[in-house]
Amino acid sequence: MNFRLPDGFDMTHWAARWERMQERYLARREERFAVIADIIAATQASPRLIIDIGCGPGSLALRLLRAFEGATVVGVDFDPALLLLARERSKEFGPRARWIETDLREEAWLSQVNERCEVDAAKAPGGEVSGAADAIVSATALHWLSAEALEALYKRVARALRPGGVFLNADHAAASSQLVQALWDKQRYAAIDAVPLDEADDWRGFWRAFNDALKFDACALGKQMRGDMEGVEEGMPLQWHFEKLAAAGFHHQDCLWRLGGDAVYGAIRP
């Protein structure tokens, strides 16, 4: 869906406001991004194609564009308003930054990425499909998906990666114990409440103000198109992710960073 920014819309202001809002909810947010970039650098000699799934307004994608000057970064998301921010913020990178509005729950996003990047999936000797991406990443997005949809997505991600490619996700990851989860939740909400609203919006406050600035109810549009959240706020436990990644064909799945109920985990496509 296409719509235009209203006259006088301050992109720099809204990008910064989004970042502050996210930092309100995600302690040590930059560490997550740094870990993702470090693991890509450690596992990929010279990445050419990185896909950011559930990219939102491009927070992670922009950092990867700066970190890997030889890479094209493709952001995939369902929200047209956030993609509008991403496109505006990434103009300095020219064709290295590409954005696709599509639903990760559907099969079509794989072919859309290939078409946009003008690459073809090759068939390996065993007949399995081999993708072109060196890395597929995500940050604080995939917990919105149901367990069934996320399991199916992992299989698509494996197909989109080339052999040796890496998948990395920074997201909520539940504890295996309800007692520990309750402690993490208490700590997290106390940290959120400690940030004054005049320093950083809460989620609803950001979207109310953003909608007013856009002169368009982008929040309602996004909900109408993608529906309500299908996953769980605290995410699935890491062991669940490791098992589903292994079933999708990944190797070396592991946790690379953790802070309470948030983690960066990943795996390698053999």
- Tell me the domain boundaries of the chain: 11-175+229-268
Q: Which of 89, 47, 85 is nearest to 64 (CA)?
A: 47
What's the pLDDT at 130? 52
| Per-residue tokens: 114 | 């290939």
- The model carries a pTM of 0.89
* Residues in the chain with pLDDT values less than 70: 1-3, 118-130, 217-229
Which pLDDT score, from 0 to 100, does residue 120 have? 43
Q: Does domain 11-175+229-268 have CATH number 3.40.50.720?
A: no
Q: How far apart are CA 153 and CA 161, in angstroms?
A: 12
User: What local confidence, expressed as pLDDT, does residue 218 receive?
Assistant: 57
Contact 53, 142 (CB under 8 A): yes
- Residue 220: the pLDDT is 56
User: What pLDDT, on a 0 to 100 scale, did the predictor assign at position 83?
Assistant: 92
